[in-house]
């Protein structure tokens, strides 16, 4: 097995296992819907299959796409080059066994992203993720963060509207963030 295939397999395995681990640490409140470990495992498998199919597609091949799954509902988010990539991504996700619905939360990239800007965006993404994970009101592995030219996109499934609003506020307070796009959905 060559190095890039091994890296892809490790990425897929990590993406499939991380949500299961985070589900074990998720606090249950009276307002939060309760998902079983079996549901979280099924969702992780679906997420892994969608990510693998997107990476394998010649027209997509993007690590800027985030896939989040909750009870078979798949949310695709991140930055893509054009509307065609959105359409192809949606078709690919719908074709995966176990996917009930697919939600489009993509943003089309504007302009060219330089190496320096990409590094800055990675730093901002890391700071936003750290801030979200360390915040007592949020502590969620279910919020994905992608940054392009200082524009932060938050996506994923959260427990309530309060978490949505607070997550946006936390992200806005991170140095270097120009704007925050909210693509989060409350779990049903």
Q: pLDDT for 95-142, tens place per residue?
A: 999 999 999 988 887 766 677 777 888 899 999 999 998 888 886 677
Indicate if 126 and 180 belong to the same structural domain: yes
Q: 51: domain CATH number?
A: 3.30.1340.30
Domain count within the chain: 2
User: Angle formed by the axes of helices 3-24 and 37-56, to 10°?
Assistant: 150
Span 79-100, pLDDT tens digits? 888 888 889 999 999 999 999 9
Residues 6+ away with beta carbon under 8 Å from 108? 79, 80, 81, 82, 83, 86
Cβ atoms 69, 15 nearer than 8 A: no
Measuring CA to CA, which residue among 6, 118, 22 is closest to residue 69? 22
Q: Give the residue from 108, 136, 157 where a domain finishes.
A: 108
Indicate if 18 and 65 belong to the same structural domain: yes
Indicate if 94 and 123 belong to the same structural domain: no
What Rg, from alpha-carbon coordinates, does the chain have? 16
Q: Give the residue from 92, 108, 124 where a domain finishes.
A: 108
In sequence order, the β-bridge partners of residue 80 are 108
Per-residue pLDDT, 18: 46
C-alpha 182/C-alpha 165 separation (Å) is: 9
- Residue 99, domain extent: 3-108
Cβ atoms 104, 78 nearer than 8 A: no
Span 28-70, pLDDT tens digits? 443 444 445 555 568 889 999 999 999 889 888 666 788 989 8
Indicate if 124 and 171 belong to the same structural domain: yes
Indicate if 93 and 136 belong to the same structural domain: no
Q: pTM surpassing 0.85?
A: no
Compute CA 43 distance to the chain's CA centroid, rounded to the nearest angstrom: 13
Q: Give the residue from 46, 80, 108 where a domain finishes.
A: 108
**Pairing of the two strands 179-186 and 151-158:** parallel
Residues 6+ away with beta carbon under 8 Å from 46? 69, 72, 74, 96, 98, 99
Q: Is the pLDDT of residue 179 over 50?
A: yes
User: Angle formed by the axes of helices 115-134 and 161-172, to 10°?
Assistant: 130
Place of tokens 């592995």: 141
Indicate if 87 and 26 belong to the same structural domain: yes
């Amino acid at each position: 097995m060559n190095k890039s295939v091994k890296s892809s397999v490790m990425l897929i395995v990590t993406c499939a296992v991380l949500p299961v681990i985070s589900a074990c640490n998720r606090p249950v409140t009276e307002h939060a819907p309760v998902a079983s470990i079996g549901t979280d495992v099924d969702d992780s498998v679906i997420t892994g299959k969608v990510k693998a199919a997107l990476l394998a597609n010649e027209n997509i091949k993007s690590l800027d796409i985030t896939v989040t799954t909750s009870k078979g509902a798949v949310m695709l988010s991140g930055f893509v080059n054009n509307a065609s990539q959105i359409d192809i991504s949606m078709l690919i996700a719908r074709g995966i066994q176990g996917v009930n619905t697919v939600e489009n939360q993509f943003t089309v990239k504007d302009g060219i992203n330089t190496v320096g800007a990409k590094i800055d965006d990675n730093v901002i993404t890391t700071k936003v993720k750290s801030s979200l994970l360390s915040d007592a009101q949020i502590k969620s592995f279910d919020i994905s963060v992608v940054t392009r030219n200082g524009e932060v996109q938050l996506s994923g499934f959260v427990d309530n509207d309060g978490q949505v609003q607070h997550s946006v506020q936390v992200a806005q307070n991170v140095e270097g963030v120009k704007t925050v796009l909210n693509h989060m959905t409350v779990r049903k």
